[in-house]
Amino acid sequence: MSMKKLSNTIDPSIVEDESRIAFTKLNDAQIERIRRIAEHREFSDGELLWSVGDRAASFYIVLSGAVEIRQPLPEGGMRLIVTHGPGEFTGDVDLLSSKATVVAGVASGPTIALKINQNGLKKLVVSDPEISDQLLAAFLARRRLLVAQNHGEITLVGSRYSPELYALREFLERNSRPFNWIDVESDPAAERLIKSFQLSIDETPAVVTAQGTVCRNPSVERLAAELGLSDIGSGEIYDMAVVGAGPAGLAAAVYAGSEGLNTIVLDARAPGGQAATSSKIENYLGFPMGISGFELAQNALVQAEKFGVRFATPRRAVKLVPDGPVYRIKLEGADEVKARTVIAACGVRYRRLPAENAEKFEGRGIYFAATRMEGDLCAQEEIAIVGGGNSAGQAAVFLANSARQVHIVIRSGGLNHSMSRYLINRVMALPNVRLHQHTEIQRFNGENRLRGIRVRNNQTDRLTELPVTHVFAFIGAEANTAWLNGAVHLDKNGFVYTGDALARDQLEASHWPDGIRPSAFETNLPGVFAVGDVRCGSVKRVASAVGEGSVVVSSVHRRVAGLNALV
Ligand SMILES: Cc1cc2nc3c(=O)[nH]c(=O)nc-3n(C[C@H](O)[C@H](O)[C@H](O)COP(=O)(O)OP(=O)(O)OC[C@H]3O[C@@H](n4cnc5c(N)ncnc54)[C@H](O)[C@@H]3O)c2cc1C
């Protein structure tokens, strides 16, 4: 592949960094190893190797000729993404998870290639570490390139002020699905597209697929089903079901998958949890320059998928029901998942702001994350961040890059008790950041979009109007345990009791045999575990969540082995 052959719309700095990893050649020795397990195929010029949306696309290594990677354009026709020549290989992360591919592959001239189906590819990456490293690094970089350029197989049409559009964009971004977005407020292509698909503004946001079908006002659930992201399998009983794909759930998935447990991970939103809403995690071991939570999560996701773990999003657990030796996890809608063991890794969520009109502006002026997407939204705007913890500090540092003015609104008299010293220093050194102490938001102003906030000084009662258009809330968290209520013991704040924190009478009520105690992360229900932020007494950090998620798998093994011995 030559970099020159890439579409010229790519930001050159991204091309330079990512292309080196994304488009490498396999050497002769590697090709020989692959030849032993591959099928030899010949294609004529223009022949399709796979099409967009194919969930069973194979992996190819070009021996002679070339394979063009193409993607449909919203206005019709195809764009050339890249051309793979001899020694180069096709594919991206979707090949490991049987998701619909976002590009098509077409032979350019008479072409000979080695072909491996998805199962063969999974076996290859598990058994050949040298080839695995090269392929996985390339697959991840290719996906990053597509996402960075908004080169997707689907096009969203909608207004930047629409909360429904924000929900669809957030879902696609956080699930790493590349997409095009036509903003009806500003994009010159919008009118043409709306006319050609006979859409009315009321029918936006709309999704136009690669095949030219239009979904009007689709829900996130419908879009996910179209893209094959929410499949839960067909009634099998999993060894382990993980509820929540934050750092704790992802770690449990990687260890369970690598140790051969048949595992499914369900998440109400997307992989990454709170960590994925952080622009940079600076204190996670081994990343001296910091790592974005999103990138950490994407790497972990691919790592788990490599070992055969199934992920389904958006899938919200609403109830846990013991049923003999298995558990049923009831999901929003009518579906359920059955598993021998359950890991509650469902973390916490930020509290909503207790101010007038807050609900009205959620998703169109009020946000609970500060990622690239929100950064783009507030370019050159005046914004406010509510909260004095590390999450608020990280958000301030990140958003101050794009926003014109950042107001930090805190109830207390300073940041010293709630934010790490290095972050306070960094935040206070930013010229466009202003701290409002002893201050609370009283009201959000605006009709269809946020035009400003009224804040009140809680010592003097003085009211001030701030002309902010975006507000980011990081004000304390509550446990995501509504689905566990009544099934496992929770503390008064809703966090899950595990191991030694469970009292004898709680265990007796759950019929634990005398003298037998739950393992460290086990709840009062045998085989149901809780790890990460949701666990009562946990340290609220990425590293501790990852640690707990990794360690819990040994107890899962014991439980599954015990159940198997009974059969
Ligand atoms: C902005 C921000 C910055 C941060 N920065 C740092 C940092 O620099 N260093 C650090 O160590 N920590 C940091 N943290 C804290 C860290 O991210 C958390 O401690 C960590 O993510 C906890 O992981 P977890 O897997 O336990 O839960 P979470 O990350 O909360 O993940 C839980 C997941 O469960 C899903 N879920 C919830 N309920 C359900 C349900 N009913 N059904 C299905 N799925 C469900 C959620 O959608 C979510 O994806 C930060 C947090 C935030 C918000």
**Residue 137 CA to its chain's centroid (Å):** 18
Is residue 498's pLDDT more than 60?
Answer: yes
435 against 176, higher pLDDT: 435
> What does the pLDDT look like over 235-258, one tens digit per residue?
899 999 999 999 999 999 999 999
What is the per-residue pLDDT for 3? 34
| Res. 567 pLDDT band, cuts 50 70 90 | low
What is the per-residue pLDDT for 372? 83
The Cα 230–Cα 312 span in angstroms is 4
- The strand pair at 104-116 and 48-50 is best described as antiparallel
Instruction: Give how far Cα 200 sits from Cα of 158, 179, 204, 304, Å.
Output: 11, 21, 7, 42
Residue 229 phi/psi, 5° resolution? Answer: -90, -15
The average pLDDT across 525-531 equals 96
What is the per-residue pLDDT for 272? 95
Instruction: Indicate the range of 44-48, 231-235, 506-510, 536-540 predicted with least confidence.
Output: 506-510
The Cα 468–Cα 409 span in angstroms is 12
> What does the pLDDT look like over 211-224, one tens digit per residue?
778 899 999 999 99
The reply to whether ligand 1 has any atom less than 6 angstroms from the CB of 276 is no
> What does the pLDDT look like over 364-409, one tens digit per residue?
899 998 888 888 888 899 999 999 999 899 999 999 999 999 999 9
pTM score: 0.87
What is the per-residue pLDDT for 152? 78
The average pLDDT across 485-512 equals 92
The reply to whether ligand 1 has any atom less than 6 angstroms from the CB of 58 is no
4 against 298, higher pLDDT: 298
| Res. 7 pLDDT band, cuts 50 70 90 | very low
The average pLDDT across 501-512 equals 88
The reply to whether ligand 1 has any atom less than 6 angstroms from the CB of 343 is no
The reply to whether ligand 1 has any atom less than 6 angstroms from the CB of 106 is no
The reply to whether ligand 1 has any atom less than 6 angstroms from the CB of 292 is no
What is the per-residue pLDDT for 1? 41
The mean of the pLDDT values for the chain is 91
Q: Whose C-alpha lies nearest to ligand 1, atom 27?
A: 347
Best substitution site from 343, 474, 485, 542 to test ligand 1's pocket, by max atoms within 8 Å of Cβ? Answer: 542
The Cα 261–Cα 239 span in angstroms is 6
Amino acid at 345: A
**What is the percent of the chain where pLDDT is above 70?**
97
> What does the pLDDT look like over 108-125, one tens digit per residue?
999 999 999 999 999 999
Owner of token pair 């001239």: 109
Please give the distance, rounded to the nearest whole angstrom, from the Cα atom of residue 119 to the centre of ligand 1: 32
Q: Whose C-alpha lies nearest to ligand 1, atom 35?
A: 244
Instruction: Give how far Cα 532 sits from Cα of 309, 478, 537, 549, Å.
Output: 20, 13, 10, 7
| Res. 563 pLDDT band, cuts 50 70 90 | confident
Please give the distance, rounded to the nearest whole angstrom, from the Cα atom of residue 248 to the centre of ligand 1: 8
Nearest-atom number in ligand 1 for the CA of 248 is 25
Is residue 209's pLDDT more than 60?
Answer: yes
**Token pair for 406:** 């950042």
The reply to whether ligand 1 has any atom less than 6 angstroms from the CB of 104 is no
| Res. 335 pLDDT band, cuts 50 70 90 | very high
| Res. 479 pLDDT band, cuts 50 70 90 | very high
The average pLDDT across 416-443 equals 95
Is residue 145's pLDDT more than 90?
Answer: no
Nearest to 368 by CA among 387, 340, 345, 343: 387
Is residue 64's pLDDT more than 80?
Answer: yes
Burial grade of 301 (CB within 10 A; 0-12, 13-18, 19 or more): buried
Q: Whose C-alpha lies nearest to ligand 1, atom 41?
A: 317
Best substitution site from 220, 250, 255, 274 to test ligand 1's pocket, by max atoms within 8 Å of Cβ? Answer: 274
**What is the percent of the chain where pLDDT is above 90?**
71
What is the per-residue pLDDT for 148? 79
> What does the pLDDT look like over 255-287, one tens digit per residue?
999 999 999 999 999 999 999 988 788 889 999
What is the per-residue pLDDT for 268? 97
**Residue 370 CA to its chain's centroid (Å):** 14
What is the per-residue pLDDT for 464? 97
